[in-house]
Structure 1
Amino acid sequence: MILASDIPLNLWLALPTAAAYALTALIGPRVAANMGHRLLSVPWALHGLGLVFALFAPQDGGLRFGFAPALSVTAWLMLTFYVLEQHWFPQLRTRWTLSIVGAAVVLLAAAFPGTALHTQTSPWLPLHLALGVASYGLFAAAVVHAWLMTRAEKNMRMGADSHVGLPLLTLERLTFRFVTAGFVLLTATLAAGWLFGDSLYGAQAAWRWDHKTVFSMLSWLTFAVLLVGRSRFGWRGRKAVRVLYIGTGLLLLGYAGSRFVLEVVLGRVT
């Protein structure tokens, strides 16, 4: 028999958060827009509190991180940007499928909470990780807006209601603002890892050309090409969206993908 004391505390926090996300996804489309925004803020707040505990709980050895917490923080940041945008652009309609994404990553992070970072690493390492995950969140927000832009463009060509709430050009500007901001943070993250890898990770885990580094550099190059292509050659529409998707996929493989292989496939905790 499973006793309540046998259930990890992070799971106790994850279950009501996932349930709140699922309930929001179910009820949200049936209520007024203002009420829907308020509903979404409840699981979003619970998610944020859960992240603070999961990442910094002292009884679990301090700062913990891994592929699932990285995805959870990314989803929370993506929802944060989306919730804030709804205050600036009230006509932007809520995408309730994002609540399903939130519920999924919360449960995934509870099942795979990551590993405690070594005590010999630099106290600046959390800032380095925060920069990297913030870039993840910005690119995730860019992907969501690119998807909305593609859908709006397709519906406009078919003469149907776009069901987005924002003009196509506004969506495009927002998409590339997120891309630009994410590129700046990704550049800072890679530069810090290259210049200060010894002090951040220790001499045994400094900058080296492993799978994480290779995929991260490829993603950086892809986003650089995207921004140059838009600035110099006017890339937009499907071509720009495809390059964005490719760069984001490479970025996911860079950290989350490599950590998934280490933690789940190979069962390594280092």
Structure 2
Amino acid sequence: MILSFGPDAAPSSAIAWALAMPTLAALAGYLFAAFLGETREAALRGALLAGWLSHALAIVIDITGVGAGSGETGARFGFAPALSVTMWLVLAVYAVESRFVPLTGVRRTLALLGGAVVVLAWLFPGEFRPNAVSRWAPLHWVLGIASYGLFGAAVLHGAMLNRAELQMRQRAATAPPSGMPLLRLERLTFRFVGAGFVMLSAALLLGAWFANPWRWDHKTVLSMLGWVIFAALLAGRRAFGWRGPQATRWLYGGAALLLLAYVGSRFVFEILLQRAPPT
């Protein structure tokens, strides 16, 4: 939801290109991390870290309003900025977790996705808003994007869990490709789901509190449906011991609804309808 530097953000082309350097550096770092050989572990980690740090700097530029072309501070909103921040958070989880356990088979995919969202956020910088509709709105935005990142991490772990179970059933490997025991990977998946559910619940409560008037628009309805799906998943896990493909199907469904709620609705307004969405 927050931030993205776009090519139209600064009045001077020289300033624009200077502000674009973190974006270009992030793209270069992610591409190096995606295509370097697996044997060059130190270079891989360095490239991914450089991309991630540059990505963070591009985000900070937008949050401080440097790329807005005015002296006002604010934040950018749009489908591409939302994807950018979400992917940055997922990469942060991966970077920390991979220091302790080998998460094989996902590095290239994550790096390519990181590069893709950086380019999207640069091409489609979204809408700059210097003022929040409420003093609680920034907290609502932070909680919402944090829930996106946590659910994104849960989806990543759910995908690794599904692949590990498939390989074990096919007797193609004796250990999960993530390098973690299946039960540990499953527990981590649900911990991310639980943390994301708490963040999403808080974001929805804050949004309902300061919204005036309350609107049952596409974003609200899809967000509430996503909340219901995740609540059912956690309840089913606790009451009936849901696990494996049954649990991940609910996880993917809830994540898809959340993605459609904000990213999907903003995409329709920004790209298809080409008009600003309602505040």
* TM-score (ref. length: structure 1): 0.90
Aligned residue for 1:158? 170
User: Amino acid of the residue matched to residue 244 of structure 1?
Assistant: L
1:16 alignment counterpart: 25
Q: 2:245 aligns with which of 238, 245, 265?
A: 238
Q: Quickly say closer, same or farther: Cα 1:120–1:36, change in 2 above 3 A.
A: closer
Residue among 253, 256, 266 paired with 2:263: 256
Quickly say closer, same or farther: Cα 1:48–1:6, change in 2 above 3 A: closer
Quick one: which of 189, 193, 197 aligns to 1:183?
197
User: Aligned to 2:216, which of 197, 209, 213?
Assistant: 209
Q: Secondary structure at the match of 1:175?
A: helix
SS at match of 2:38: helix
For each residue in 1:28-61, what CA deviation from the matched residue of structure 2 results, as whole angstroms up to 9, or x when unmatched? 52313x5533332111111111111123324515
- Counterparts of 1:207 and 1:9 in 2: how far apart (Å)? 41
State the match for 2:39 in structure 1.
30
Report which of the two has the higher share of helix: 1
Which residue is 2:126 aligned to?
114
Residues 56 and 64, structure 1, Cα contact 8 Å, conserved in 2: no
Query: 2:136 — aligned with what?
Result: 124
Instruction: State the TM-score, normalized to the length of structure 2.
Output: 0.87
For residues 229 and 23 of structure 1, do their structure 2 counterparts lie closer, same or farther at Cα, with a shift above 3 Å needed?
same
Q: CA deviation at 1:92?
A: 3.1
- Return the alpha-carbon distance in structure 2 between the equivalents of residues 64 and 97 of structure 1: 26
Distance in 2 between residues matched to 1:54 and 1:260, nearest whole Å: 19
Find out whether 1:224 has 2:224 as its counterpart: no
* Number of the residue aligned with 1:105: 117
Query: Residue 92 of structure 1 is aligned with which of 76, 100, 103?
Result: 103
Q: Which amino acid letter does the alignment assign opposite residue 264 of structure 1? A: I
Could you tell me how far 1:6 is from its partner in structure 2? 8.5
Larger displacement relative to structure 2 (107-116 or 92-101): 92-101
Q: Matched residues, percent identical? A: 49
Seen in structure 2, the aligned counterparts of structure 1 residues 213 and 130 have a Cα distance that, compared at 3 Å, is same
Give 1:120 shift: 5.8
Mapped partners of 2:264, 2:160: distance in 1? 26
Q: Distance in 1 between matches of 2:94 and 2:214?
A: 34
Moved more, 3-12 or 126-135: 3-12
Verify the 8 A CA contact 1:28 1:39 in the aligned structure 2: no
**1:203 aligned residue:** none
Match of 1:49 in 2: 57
Instruction: Tell me the CA shift for residue 7 of structure 1.
Output: 5.1
List per-residue Cα deviations over 1:117-146 (Å, max 9, x = no partner).
253622332221110000000000000000
State how many pairs are aligned.
259
Q: Which moved more, 1:98-107 or 1:49-58?
A: 49-58
How far is 1:197 from its partner? Answer: 1.6
Structure 2 counterpart of 1:149:
161
Secondary structure class of the residue paired with 1:116 = strand
1:249 aligned counterpart, secondary structure: helix
- Offset of residue 216 of structure 1: 0.2
CA RMSD of aligned residues (A): 1.9
After superposition, the C-alpha distances for 1:92-128 in whole angstroms (9 at most, x for unaligned) are: 3362210000000000000111112253622332221
The secondary structure found in structure 1 opposite 2:178 is coil
Which shows bigger deviation, 144-153 or 12-21?
12-21
Which consecutive unaligned segments of at least 5 residues does structure 2 have?
1-11
Change (3 A) 1:9 1:121: farther
SS in 2 for 1:64: strand
SS at match of 2:275: coil
